[in-house]
Structure formats: C-alpha cells, structure tokens
Homo-oligomer: A and B are copies of this chain.
Amino acid sequence: MIDFNAEYAKYKEIFELSLEEFYGKLDCKPQILSDSLKYSLKLGGKRIRPVIMFAVGELIGAEHDKLVNYAVALELIHTYSLIHDDLPAMDNDDFRRGKPSNHKVFGEGNAILAGDGLLNTAYSVLFGECFNGSEYVSAAKYICDCAGINGMIAGQSADLLHEKDADSDEEVLNFIYENKTAKLIMAAAVTPSILCGGKYYSELKTFGSDLGHLFQITDDILDVEGSFESLGKSIGKDGSEGKYTSVHIYGLDASKLKADVLVDKCVRLLEGFDGDTEFLRELVYFVRQRIH
C-alpha cells in the first residue's frame, strides 16, 4: 500500500520546482505587474490539477517532460480565474489561501491585468509547445477550450447570473459545476491522453468530469463544515449570500451521499485501467475527505 500523502507531496514538489524555474519568465516591466503575477502563483494551494496530470501521465505512459509546460499553463489559467473571481464585481473575496487576495494587495486595476497576464502567458507557453507536432496542438487547444466560453468562463458567467437566484435548479447547478470546476480538472486528466495518441481518452474525460463534480460538492460541504483556519478563505459565505450550492439545493446529507456516489463512480472507472491506479484511487478519497 502506498503512502498517499508522501506520493502527493512528491508530485507537488516536482511541480513546484518546475514553477520555480518558470518564475523568471514572469519578469517584466513594470515591477508591479511582475510582482502581482508571481504573488498569486506563489500563494500555493493544493496544485491538484498538475498532480492529476502527472499521475495520469505516469499511469498511461505519457512522458513527464512532455507534460510539464501543460501543467504550468493549466495552473496559470486556474490562478488567473481565482484572481478575477475574487474581484469585488465577482465573488468579492478578500482572502485566498489565508492571504489577502490579489486586488487587496495590488488594487483592482492591477488584479485585472494580473489575471489577463497569467491567461495570456499560459497560451504563450502552449504556443511554444505547438511546434512539436499536431498532438501538442490538440492538447493545447483542448485546455484552451476547457477554459473558454463553453467551459470555465461559461461556468463563471452562470455562477454570477444565478448568484442570488433562489429558484435555481439542478440543471443550472450541474451546468455551473461541469463548466466552472470540472472542465479544468478534465483538462488535467485528458491532456496526457491526447499527448499519448488518445489512450483512454473517453474514460479520462469521464473521470475528470466526475472528479471535478466531486471536488465542487466537497467544496460546498466544506463551506458549511470547514473552518477559516484550514481553508484560508471566508467560510459560510456562499450559504449566507443565498448562493445556491449543492447543500442549498439537496441539503447537507444528500450532498454527502452524492459525493459518495461520485467516489464510487471514479473508483470503478479506475478499475478499467491497466497499470497501478492506487494513487489516483487514493486521490479520489482524498478529495472526498479533505478539510481544505
């Protein structure tokens, strides 16, 4: 049996080293732009998307070196989305990972530009990969579309639209979870497949989607049951603002049941893979049981 925490830490550490090397590419003028780009990236977090990408890559035989820039780009995209999401006109969050949000440190204008800058830099990195051949282009475009107007941005827009909409239903909630949260997790799981000629493509798409939904439902549960100390962000905010979440729509117990069903789905999916899926299985349990 593997030591899950040690394995997770290993993947994370490998990613942090790649990111460390990458920071030099964020040197730019004026200094405040460079500082604001790095500030949010350096806030850390679980780095779950890179960890998923690396672990899936190891499972299906995608070379690690091929994945590194895709993992960096995906984390840049995720980070830009948090910066813009935290803005007063969006979720209005003053804290992120226990530290002041980007706009609280650098001001709103700079935070908007920091988000734009991270998004643009992610694609500059991915265009750099596109010289390597058409599967590299496919992987880059897949990530881009997961992040776009039929992906994450659509989810953010629906989230904003239904923010205080007590009549929101299951369909709306599913749309938001699928797009706002699951799409980037799908991108993490599917990228190694595209770079391996489509190996386990549809299985990994389903796995990423289910894991993404699970991640969001456990987020909702944590918003009710978690603490500021462990989460590093404001608690009970979604509930108190009347934002519908799975807890709001189904109740706490039914949300937990839904999470467990998704855990089962993910675990059964992994059983269909050749190779050692123990780490990914433990990752599914970790997402369900996490306290942050």
Contacts and interface: CB of A to CB of B under 8 A. Distances in A.
A121 interface: yes
B116 A127 contact: no
A34 B161 CA distance: 13
B120 A149 contact: yes
A156 interface: yes
A39 interface: no
B144 A123 contact: yes
Given A33-B153, A131-B134, A89 B117 contact: no
Number of copies: 2
Which interface residue of A80, A110, A111 has the most chain B CB atoms within 10 A? A110
A276 B188 CA distance: 50
Given A110-B160, A124-B145, A116 B84 contact: yes
Contacts of A34: 149
What range describes how many residues of A lie at the interface? 35 or more
B90 A109 contact: yes
A8 to B, nearest CB: 30
Interface of A: 26, 28-30, 32-34, 37, 80, 84, 87, 89-90, 107-113, 115-117, 119-121, 123-124, 126-128, 130-131, 134, 137, 140-141, 144-145, 147-150, 153-154, 156-158, 160-161, 175
A90 B112 contact: yes
A52 to B, nearest CB: 21
Given A112-B89, A123-B123, A131-B134, A117 B153 contact: yes
Given A113-B153, A127-B144, A161 B120 contact: no
19 contacts: A28-B154, A29-B154, A29-B175, A33-B154, A33-B157, A84-B112, A84-B116, A87-B112, A89-B107, A89-B111, A116-B119, A117-B157, A119-B120, A120-B144, A120-B147, A120-B148, A120-B149, A130-B130, A131-B134
